[in-house]
Amino acid sequence: MGFVARLLMACLLTLCAGTAHAQKQGGVLRVTHRDNPPSASIHEEATISTDMPFMAVFNNLVVFDSDSKQNRLDRILPDLATSWKLSDDDKTLTFQLRDGVKWHDGKPFTSADVKCTWDVVSGKVDGKMRKNPHKTWWFNVKEITVNGPLEVAFHLTDPQPSLLVMLAGGFAPVYPCHVPAAQMRTHPIGTGPFKFVEFKQNESIRLERNPQYWKPGRPYLDGIEYSIIANRSTAILALVAGKFDLTLTGEVTPELVKDVKAQVPQMECLVQPSNTQGNLLVNRERPPFDNPLIRRVLSLSIDRKAFSDILSRGVYNIGGAMLAPPEGLWGWSPEFMATVPGYGADVEKSREEGRRIMRELGYGPDKMMPLKVSTRNIADYRDASVILIDHLKTVYIQGELEPLDSSVWYARLARKDYAVGMNVQGTGIDDPDVQFFENYLCGSERNYTSYCNADLEKLYHQQSMMKDQDARRKLVWEIDRKLQEDGARPVVYQSQGGTCWWPQVKGLKLAVNSIYNHWRFEDVWLDR
């Protein structure tokens, strides 16, 4: 074939390839939002309220492959890092960085920005952040060095395969050196597909397309608009009425999903684990739970299936500290779970055992043990607490609900001024390093109950260093079982939440084991 003919062929082929995808440019995506984000700085927050809207402003070093439904270590793709290499002793992770990337204010992105970001979040340098909730994630980072503007290396104290997983999550964006933390809270600057436009407290968040984004042709959308509607029911009604395209992730309860699909059959809704769990904070330093017998009675009284049934019509998962399979990577298999005390199927038998113990302690149906159940004064927390109190009645414990204003709740936790608290907490990434080190490590800030077990801590570190993920999983199961046996923080349910969107929203890919990691929106387009 002649040269011209081949050229024509090539042109035709690319044209065909283009029209096969048929992504449309343009349009503003309208999303409902529930809660006012405390600030716009992802590194300073741990809530989906901040993560979902502002993740699109940034890039990470690496990201999870959005084609994989599970966020996992072996499905990680380059973002601002084009490649990476682990040293022979597994203690140094070196990244080669992308050239020609610019911050939204025009300044160039270099390796210094990576060093700045992680020096601050790991606590080595005071970046004037108001708070640092993910500090424990980076405990293993000894030092960060740069080698020229396009190469950066993380030097670790011990091998840690999970470091890459943490760098791929939504809570690990790269921040610019030249923008102070205060500004990142109100007007963040990133390298991402969308630029920050405005954030009206309690009202709306607006982002617009970054025309200088380093991925050609992306993003497809002209902008994204979040409207804050405090009442979930009105937000969903507005979605159904066509005022919005997408809901905040996990916003739609499984019950409401059924209702939405009944009204709008073509609506796409996905119910998936939100990696949020309901658990009990048990104060071991004060009566009555300083007595291990009563702690045991507490875990025997819980009917986990009832929590799931009432709160979600049976959709919620049951498991330990790690998210249950098939969505979670590290949760117990059903066979293993049956061997964990308190997770047996016969609730009545467990409760009978609990009653027996209580009778030996001198309690009975006419002499119930009084107990204050503290919780945050929020609907989800309160509903779970009401169910708990109901269950406690079956083992001769008379529970009284003590709803606390959020600020008071944490103050009381800090002072250990409570008996048992109903707690709801999310975990940013489905990874044992994150779960164990954030919540169960001695002295960790989120270890509210000050649970301290030196033997288990050795095991936390041991599993953190293991390269063989299958062997690691077995060890994680054992640790999880010990935690539940010990009543460290009895897990009551693992919630699921729904996300709904109109069919004209295309290219949205959600993961099943985390809600925090896929809100770049660079591949999303509107078909209208």
Partner 1 sequence: MLSYIIRRLLLMVVTLFDVSITIFLLLRIVPGNIADILFDSAGLIDPAEKQKIIADLGLDKSLPVQYAQWILGLFRGDLGFSYVSEKPVIDEILPRIPITARLAGLALLFAIAMGVPLGVISAVRQNTGLDYALRVLSLSGLSMPSFWLGLLILMAFVHYFGTIPIYDRAPANFWAWLQMLVIPAAAVGFRSAALIMRLTRSSMLEVLRQDYVRTARSKGLSDGSVTYNHALRNAVLPVITVIGVETAFLMGGLIVTETVFNIPGVARFLVEAIRWRDYPMVQNLVMFIALVVVVVNLIVDLAYMFVDPRIRYSE
Partner 2 sequence: MSARIEIAAEQPSRKPGRMSEFWNDVGYLARRYPLGVAGAIIMVIFVFAAVFAGTVAPLDPFTTNPRASLAPPGSKYLMGADMMGRDVFSRMIHGARISLAVSLGATFLGSGFGAALGLASGYVGGWFDLLVQRVAEIMQSLPLLVMALVITASLGPSLPNTIIAIAIPLIPNVARVIRSNVLSLREMPFVEAAKATGMSEFRIAVIHVLPNTLAPLIVLATAQLGSTILTEASLSFLGLGVPEPWPSWGRMLSESAAEYVRTAPWLVIFPGLAISLVVFGTNLLGDALRDALDPRQRD
What residue ranges bind partner 1 (CB under 8 A)? 30, 36, 38, 44-47, 49, 130-133, 182, 185-186, 199-204, 225, 227, 229-231, 234, 237-238, 241, 243-244, 405-411, 413-414, 425, 445-446, 448
Both tokens of 280, joined, read 């009990």
Contact flag: residue 368 with partner 2 (CB under 8 A): no
| Angle, helices 347-360/292-301, rounded to nearest 10 degrees | 150
**From partner 2, partner 1, none, which one binds at residue 411 (CB under 5 to 8 Å depending on kind)?**
partner 1
Question: In whole angstroms, how close is the CB of 495 to partner 1 at the nearest point?
Answer: 16
User: What values do phi and psi take at 150, rounded to 5?
Assistant: -125, 20
Query: Residue 9 or residue 230: which is nearer to partner 1 going by CB?
Result: 230
- Minimum CB distance to partner 1 smaller for 202 or for 266: 202
Q: What type of residue is 433?
A: D
CB-wise, 66 or 122, nearer to partner 1? 122
Q: Which is nearer to partner 2, 112 or 408 (CB)?
A: 408
H-helix or E-strand containing 49? Answer: helix 48-54
Q: Min. distance of Cβ 379 from partner 2 in angstroms? A: 5
383 scored as a contact of partner 2 (CB under 8 A): yes
Q: Pick what 306 binds: partner 1, partner 2, none; C-beta below 5 to 8 Å, kind-dependent.
A: partner 2
Q: Which two tokens stand for residue 194?
A: 């969308």
Residue 374 C-beta: closest distance to partner 2, Å: 12
Report 387-416 residues binding partner 2 (CB under 8 A): 387, 389-390, 401, 403-405, 408
For every residue of 462-527, DSSP letters joined together read HHHH---HHHHHHHHHHHHHHHHHTTSS-EEEEEEEEEEE-TTEES----SS-SSS----TT-EE-
- One-letter amino acid at 144 equals I
User: How would DSSP label each residue in 157-222?
Assistant: SS--THHHHHHHSTT-PPPPTTS-HHHHHHS---SSSEEEEEEETTTEEEEEE-TT-SSTT----S
Instruction: Give yes or no for a contact between 168 and 72, defined as CB atoms under 8 angstroms apart.
Output: no
477-494 residues labelled b (16+ CB within 10 A) or e (exposed): bebbbbbbebbbbbbbbb
User: From the list partner 2, partner 1, none, which binds 377 (C-beta under 5 to 8 Å, kind-based)?
Assistant: partner 2
Q: Which does 382 bind (CB under 5 to 8 A by kind): partner 2, partner 1, none?
A: partner 2
Quick count: other Cβ atoms within 10 Å of Cβ 503? 12
Give the CA distances from residue 239 to residues 257, 510, 526, in Å, rounded to whole numbers and listed in that order: 12, 19, 16
Residues 151 and 144 sit within 8 Å (Cβ to Cβ):
no
Minimum Å gap between C-beta 247 and partner 2 is 14
**Part in contact with partner 2 (CB under 8 A); list of ranges 248-256, 266-274, 332-340, 465-473:** 248-256
Among 11-19, 54-62, 116-124, 384-392, the segment contacting partner 2 (CB under 8 A):
384-392
Residue 78 binds which entry of partner 2, partner 1, none, CB below 5-8 Å type-dependent: none
Q: Residue 222 binds what, of partner 1, partner 2, none (CB under 5 to 8 Å, by partner type)?
A: none
Nearer to partner 1, 203 or 468 (CB): 203
Q: Is residue 386 part of the contact set for partner 2 (CB under 8 A)?
A: yes
Query: Which residues are CB-contacts of 314 (< 8 A; sequence separation ≥ 6)?
Result: 305, 308
* 504 to 30, 165, 205, 245: CA distances (angstroms): 12, 32, 22, 8
Structure-block tokens of residue 12 = 């035709």
Rounded to a whole number of angstroms, the minimum distance from the CB of residue 139 to partner 1 is 15
Q: Which residues bind partner 2 (CB under 8 A)?
A: 231-234, 237, 253, 255-256, 259, 263, 306, 309-310, 313, 377, 379, 382-383, 385-387, 389-390, 401, 403-405, 408
